[in-house]
Amino acid sequence: MINFSTGGPWITRFAPSPTGALHLGNARTAILNFLLARQSGGRFLLRLEDTDRERSSFAAEADILWSLAWLGLAPDEPVHHQSLRLPLYAEAVKSLLDRNLAYPCFCTEAELERDREAAVRNGLPPRYAGRCRGLDPAQRQKRLDSGEPHTVRFHNTATEDITFTDLIKGPMSIPPGAFGDFVLLRSNGWPSYNLAVVVDDADMGVNLVLRGEDHLVNTARQILLYRAFGYAQPAFAHHGLLVDAEGKKLSKRAGAASVPQCRDMGLQPQAVVQYLAGLSGALPSKRLFLSLEEAARAFQPYALGRGNAVMNMDELQALSARFFRTLSPAGLVRSIRLPDGDPWYALSPEIQEELAAGLRENAATPDELRALVPHFTAREVAYTPQVLKELVAGRPVLGALEALLAPVDPEMRLDKDQTAAMLRRAGETAGVKGRALYHPVRLALTGCESGPELAVLMVLLPAGHLTRRLRAVLEFFSPSRTEH
């Protein structure tokens, strides 16, 4: 029996419709296909199923291609477009028509809607009633010659269950009554999903179709087409869907988070890949995989569970923070984007990298790191009335620290030991310790309660900056200023 290990090398494909941004449910399917192809020494292919002429757009196509590139999922062949393969589908349908395995259907949308409503009233699944299947050949030809609009349907003659072994779910059986004679070509000549998928997968050499379990019934339809065309049937594997905490499927139409949104949130692409691949246990959760090649080697497709995978954005953000903190100092600097002319760009590359590395543990995203930069580049600190009120009691500490810093070279940076010693001596002079020592110093240096650790601030800021900020607070409370 073929399984993930004994089969292969696997030629997989990801086949999204360019009708919107790439949401995380579809991104997970792409990631699983990519890792499996890489691990088995196969190929990962990309096909854009752009046959929905009303909803497909070049903007969505560009978005999908960007999203896959951001995730690092490069296909091994040029991108395939279904809209450029229409003659191939027409030829395939003609072969079925010539063998009476398909027929033209002239039913109007109104007639089909009435059939669906009748099926619902009778408690039956909606399926085509077969109205045009038995048309007299002469009458059928006359209607075709007159140019009457029509679709082409597959003649489903199956009487036994359609069976196959799913590499994730095991033996599967779909009753032939689950669907009727399904459409192959629409009235505009464009292919249906099931026709195009089978023709394309066979033509592209795909030997494993790995996708969501919501395609199980489509798989039965496609198996019938593989048999009708005489194509080699690929292996099938249907993974559980990506759902929210309430068990609802994540999808574009439901407003699921997309790959571009992950980028805008400052998430790291490696984290998105590892999190989505590891949701069902296919990747170890504690280890960080810093390259796709490393992740592919550790990928365990047989661990993909039959159940759905529950998305937890907090967990993804936590994993992303771990990846963000592994970036090199140069990588951290590249993540900081500020307006032209910001004082940050006046710093030397060496100082920028030193600051970024020193702040690594205080930020989980580029935005958080960027928000810390003004603490080190601002010429002056802005103080709110509340902060000034709190600083009143801290003046003795600030004065003692300012006096200790006065003889230090303004361009010098203190090391950790010097910082600790200076704070200890300032506390002894002012007769305070703990929060009464550290809190006023933090407020004086930053103007806020949160931000970098005090030790980080005092190590990374030049002594002249420290002195200037402390002096600004002390001068604010000086008698001459108060009297003035």
- The pLDDT profile of the chain, 484 residues, written as one tens digit per residue, is 688 888 889 999 999 999 999 999 999 999 999 999 999 999 999 999 999 888 999 999 999 999 999 999 999 999 999 999 999 999 999 999 999 999 999 999 999 999 889 888 988 888 898 899 999 999 999 999 999 999 999 999 999 999 999 999 999 999 988 889 999 999 999 999 999 999 999 999 999 999 999 999 999 999 999 999 999 999 999 999 999 888 888 765 555 789 999 999 999 999 999 999 999 788 987 899 999 999 999 999 988 877 899 999 999 999 999 999 999 999 999 999 999 999 999 999 999 999 999 999 999 999 999 999 999 998 889 999 999 999 999 999 999 999 999 999 999 999 999 999 999 999 999 999 999 999 999 999 999 887 788 888 899 999 999 999 999 999 998 876 545 4
Please give the C-alpha separations between residue 42 and each of 293, 411, 464, in angstroms, as whole numbers.
13, 57, 60
Instruction: Tell me: do 417 and 456 sit in the same domain.
Output: yes
What CATH number should be reported for the domain holding residue 403?
1.10.10.350
* Cα–Cα dist 61/83, whole Å: 12
Please give the C-alpha separations between residue 437 and each of 151, 387, 403, 443, in angstroms, as whole numbers.
81, 15, 15, 11
Instruction: Please check whether residue 483 lies inside any domain of the structure.
Output: no
Domain of residue 129: give its range.
Answer: 85-185
Instruction: Tell me: do 93 and 160 sit in the same domain.
Output: yes
Give the residue carrying structure tokens 């028509």.
97
Structure tokens at 195: 């026709």
Domain count, the chain: 5
Sheet of strand 208-212, all strands in order from the earlier edge strand to the far edge: 170-174, 162-166, 235-239, 208-212
Instruction: Tell me: do 170 and 141 sit in the same domain.
Output: yes
At residue 484, the pLDDT reads 47
Instruction: Tell me: do 392 and 428 sit in the same domain.
Output: yes
Q: Spell out the residues 6+ positions from residue 336 whose beta carbon is closer than 8 angstroms to its own.
A: 344, 352, 356, 366, 369, 370, 373
Instruction: Please check whether residue 322 lies inside any domain of the structure.
Output: yes
Q: Which of 342, 359, 377 is the last residue of a domain?
A: 377
Instruction: Tell me: do 50 and 112 sit in the same domain.
Output: no
pTM for this entry = 0.88
**For residue 13, with 0-12 CB atoms within 10 Å meaning exposed, 13-18 middle and 19 or more buried, which class applies?**
buried
What CATH number should be reported for the domain holding residue 154?
3.90.800.10
Instruction: Please check whether residue 110 lies inside any domain of the structure.
Output: yes
Instruction: Tell me: do 309 and 268 sit in the same domain.
Output: yes
What CATH number should be reported for the domain holding residue 287?
1.10.1160.10
Instruction: Please check whether residue 226 lies inside any domain of the structure.
Output: yes
At residue 251, the pLDDT reads 67
Instruction: Please check whether residue 275 lies inside any domain of the structure.
Output: yes
Instruction: Tell me: do 98 and 181 sit in the same domain.
Output: yes
Instruction: Please check whether residue 143 lies inside any domain of the structure.
Output: yes
Instruction: Please check whether residue 141 lies inside any domain of the structure.
Output: yes
What CATH number should be reported for the domain holding residue 48?
3.40.50.620
Q: Name the pairing type of β-strands 162-166 and 170-174.
A: antiparallel
Q: Name the pairing type of β-strands 242-243 and 235-239.
A: unpaired
Instruction: Tell me: do 172 and 92 sit in the same domain.
Output: yes
Instruction: Please check whether residue 253 lies inside any domain of the structure.
Output: no
Instruction: Tell me: do 293 and 425 sit in the same domain.
Output: no
Q: Which of 165, 185, 205 is the last residue of a domain?
A: 185
Instruction: Tell me: do 96 and 31 sit in the same domain.
Output: no
- Alpha helices (runs of H) in 41-85, residue ranges in sequence order: 58-71
At residue 481, the pLDDT reads 54
Q: Which of 185, 204, 233 is the last residue of a domain?
A: 185
Instruction: Tell me: do 411 and 472 sit in the same domain.
Output: yes
Annotated binding residues:
252
At residue 483, the pLDDT reads 52
DSSP state of 231: P
Annotated binding residues for ATP:
252
Residues in the chain: 484
Instruction: Tell me: do 353 and 373 sit in the same domain.
Output: yes
* Spatial contact of 56 and 20, defined as CB atoms under 8 Å apart: no
At residue 64, the pLDDT reads 97
